[in-house]
Amino acid sequence: MKLRPLLLMLLAPAFWAQSQDVSGRAWQIPALAYGPNIWSTLHLVNRAATPRSVRLEVYRENGERLSIAERWDVPAHEMREIRIDSPNGDQESCWAKVTELSEAPALQVDGSVEMLNGNAIVSFARKAKDPTANDVWVSLAAEIEGKQLYFLNVFDRPTTLEFCATNNREQRSCQVGSQKAAARFEVNPNQAVAVQVKKLRQRYFIAQSTAPGRAILLLFTDGPGTKRVFSSDSSVEFETPR
């Protein structure tokens, strides 16, 4: 297993997720990205007959807050799109938290990562996910091998993320007897890490957070996005002089 640059993983569609799709007045949209020819878009749909307002927080992959307008309004029965661009042209991942400021939730929120490739825009959907309080995740090795694992710490404390493999289906920790974790990463609040999982020699894969709180764990694999192609087919007609 090795730490992989986040942006390489973020352009792949989701394959599997431990976290559930979220509904309510707060939405976390993980695995977004921006950079040259890459940007993210949040889609806010207001199903109510009255306007709604939201508070927007966007965090860079290292957990730092991105400078972006905090309050946004969505007219009644309309959709508003919020584009997240690189503030200085750098290429990196990010994630967003959208909080509806009304006591009666009426919004539908999701996102997408979009990449300009020649005369086409390729889009990858990003659903809002509900953080889990789990501290251990166990899966069959065959379901993890060759995939890209994304971990987002949305807790207010740092954690140590550990990975290991085992043949014991009942094992729930990477620290058993003399066994040590195969990989370990320090993850600050609001920070995300992505790990490329290679061939595993044992049957089960374990991911463990040493400071359980609130986290989102996703698995990605390579695959095509939705492509929109734009053409420049146009003509100009001139009137015949009289």
pLDDT at 238 over 50: no
**CATH number, domain with residue 187:** 2.60.290
Compute the average pLDDT of residues 106-132. 90
Q: What is the per-residue pLDDT for 2?
A: 47
Q: What is the per-residue pLDDT for 20?
A: 53
The three-state secondary structure class of 201 is: coil
Number of domains the chain contains: 2
Q: What is the per-residue pLDDT for 224?
A: 66
**CATH number, domain with residue 72:** 2.60.290.11
Residues 192, 3: contact at Cβ < 8 Å? no
Instruction: Report the share of the chain in percent with pLDDT over 90.
Output: 46
Which of 95, 129, 163 lies at the terminal end of a domain, its last residue?
A: 129
Residues 126, 32: contact at Cβ < 8 Å? yes
Residue 29 and residue 99 share a domain: yes
Compute the average pLDDT of residues 6-24. 47
Give the pairing of strands 20-21 and 183-187: unpaired
Residues 84, 72: contact at Cβ < 8 Å? no
Residue 143 and residue 90 share a domain: no
Residue 115 and residue 35 share a domain: yes
Residues 101, 55: contact at Cβ < 8 Å? yes
In this structure, what token pair is assigned to residue 8?
Answer: 């390489």
Range of the domain at 212: 136-220
In this structure, what token pair is assigned to residue 203?
Answer: 């049957």
Which of 112, 129, 146 lies at the terminal end of a domain, its last residue?
A: 129
Residue 121 and residue 147 share a domain: no
Residue 110 and residue 191 share a domain: no
Q: What is the per-residue pLDDT for 104?
A: 81
Asked whether residue 173 is assigned to any structural domain, the reply reads yes
Asked whether residue 216 is assigned to any structural domain, the reply reads yes
